[in-house]
Amino acid sequence: MTLDLIQAIAAGSTDQVLCTVMQVRGSAPRHAGSRMLAGAEGLLGGSVGGGRGEAMALAACRELLGGARPSVLEIDMQGLEAEGPAMVCGGTSRLLIEPLASRAPYFAALALLERGEPAVLVKRPATGETGVMDGTGRWVQGDLDGADPALAREAAATGHPVLAEASGLFYDPVEPREKLLILGGGHVGRALAAIAPGLGFAVTVGDDREAFLEPGRFPSSVATASGSFTDIVAGFPFDPSTYVVIVSRGHLCDLECVRAILAKTYRFAGFMGSRRKTRLVLGQVLADGFDPAKVEALCAPIGLELGAETPEELAVAIAAELIAVRRRAECLAGVHQARKARRRAP
């Protein structure tokens, strides 16, 4: 669930229904944890897959408007004929359709998210009960019998929901708004800032050259910060949902940025450059005495290997890596191994 959807629920009327994909078997348009909010006027936000399946979910939501009890909808997509009416994705989705009679759990979750902390909505689909745990498995609102703090911690750590069949409880994690700090407002920084807001990031571009932060260079939703890179980093509100992309104008600025961020908390950080530049910068911060594990975790050269050359292509390659990190994509293990090999190559 996105922060925007939580905010819409908290601010909305009582006549709303939330639809959540609890479980997927086989192939389906959306993964478990995808959500859709509906009201009397129809779709209000989110998506559980589009097409016929989403139409079925919307119809189920309309039936429960103003209702008190949730229901579970199974959508079968295992049709065998390309020209037949049945959906042919190859799997089934189990959806929780719940009227939002109480906003209290969502206000509690929103308070955690606004502090940069994850929240886990713990739901009992059979009764409509909902409570909220934090990322450590501690109750923040409500207290459902049979809840397992370890499952809440698992959901918060992986970002994936957990459906506990034995207890009948559904652990639905919600992550804070992800912040992206782009250090460098040149060609690549500008191109990345143009696409990142559409990916759901709250974007700030920092540069020590005020001319590169002039109004009109970036979308209106993008914040800017001027000054030395050290001061920009010092003034930025880092938290575990922060991503940092360093695309400054040279290795000395990159080194300044890397030194500044290594003392901070973040989810992802990396910088752009050749193998030689990467080795020199990383070698210097190791010599400075920074934590070797944190230095090794820096993603450099940043971006997935797409053969990108232009600033716009490089921005897409970097954005692709940000998405992979967000989704905890399986490809990341291979990406990290290849990156280490490139660093060692002459």
Integer Rg of the chain from CA: 22
Handedness of CA 242, 336, 188, 283 (dihedral sign): positive
Q: Is the pTM value of this prediction over 0.95?
A: no
Task: Please tell me the class of the 179-344 domain.
Answer: alpha beta
Q: Domain locations in the chain?
A: 1-101, 104-121+130-176, 179-344
In angstroms, the CA 274 to CA 140 distance is: 47
Please report, in tens digits, the pLDDT of each residue of the chain (346 residues total). Answer: 677 888 888 887 668 999 999 999 888 888 899 999 999 888 998 999 888 889 999 999 999 998 778 999 999 877 655 556 655 576 899 999 999 988 999 999 999 998 888 999 999 999 999 999 999 999 999 999 999 999 999 999 888 999 999 999 999 999 888 999 999 999 999 999 999 999 999 999 999 999 999 989 999 999 999 999 999 999 999 988 999 999 999 999 999 999 999 999 999 999 998 889 999 999 999 999 999 999 999 999 999 999 999 999 999 999 999 999 998 898 999 998 888 887 777 6
User: With contact defined as beta carbons under 8 Å apart, do 20 and 120 qualify?
Assistant: no
Name 291's Cβ contacts closer than 8 Å, sequence gap at least 6: 262
Instruction: Give the number of other CB atoms < 10 A from CB of residue 205.
Output: 28
